[in-house]
Copies of this chain bind each other. A is one copy, B any other.
Amino acid sequence: MTLRDDRREAAIERMADHVLAEGLGAATLRPLALAAGTSDRMLLYYFADKDEVLTVTLDRIATRMIAQLDRAIPAEPRRSFAVLLQQAWAELASDSLRAFMPLWLELASGAARGLQPHRDVAGKIMDGFLAWTTIRLQPEGDGDPARLAPLFLASIEGMYLLTAVGRGDLAEATAQELVSRSQ
């Protein structure tokens, strides 16, 4: 029992590494099993089917990502829009989180087509990121603390996408413009 759980757990960790490195396109049973140090036969013994393998693996990746973000940028103190934007953007470009970008866009495009588990996982991640942001953003003067969060998310995601298509310069220009405007 515990042995089985241990191996299942180890497989998840190594599959998470593989999916982060290679993307969902390469997330087929045999390569996943190879990365996990086992066989496709055993993967389907640990998990019901490929869908469960993917769901569990993506969940693990999302957990890792949020943990990393929490560690790098603690909840207290609250920060201005400009400061949090710069900190979050720098963190997302760091070695440990950069690999997440192509996967995140892959999830988003799958979600846009209504695929599972893309839709559920992507929605969950976005909700987590919304909560993460809301708790860290300092409300502007009189305003509602949650008013700025959507704009913050959209800005980060937009810069993300600009970077993905090789227009990182536009992302930087966006960050500059946002910072100079919110001060």
Q: Which residue of B lies closest to A154 (CB)?
A: B158
What residues on B are CB-neighbors of A159 within 8 Å? Answer: 154, 158
Tell whether A113 pairs with B161 under 8 Å between CB atoms, given A119-B166, A177-B148: no
For the residues of A in contact with B, the DSSP-based class is helix
What residues on B are CB-neighbors of A171 within 8 Å? Answer: 150, 154
Q: Say whether A111 contacts B151, CB under 8 Å.
A: no
- Chain A, residues 152-170, CB within 8 Å of chain B (1/0): the string is 0111111111111111001
Residue among A103, A153, A158 with the highest chain B CB neighbour number at 10 A: A158
What residues on B are CB-neighbors of A161 within 8 Å? Answer: 108, 154, 157-158, 160-161
Number of interface residues of A (CB under 8 A): 45
Tell whether A154 pairs with B155 under 8 Å between CB atoms, given A165-B123, A181-B181: yes
The answer to whether the Cβ of A23 comes within 8 Å of any Cβ in the partner chain is yes
- Within residues 68 to 97 of chain A, which ones have a CB less than 8 A from any CB in chain B? none
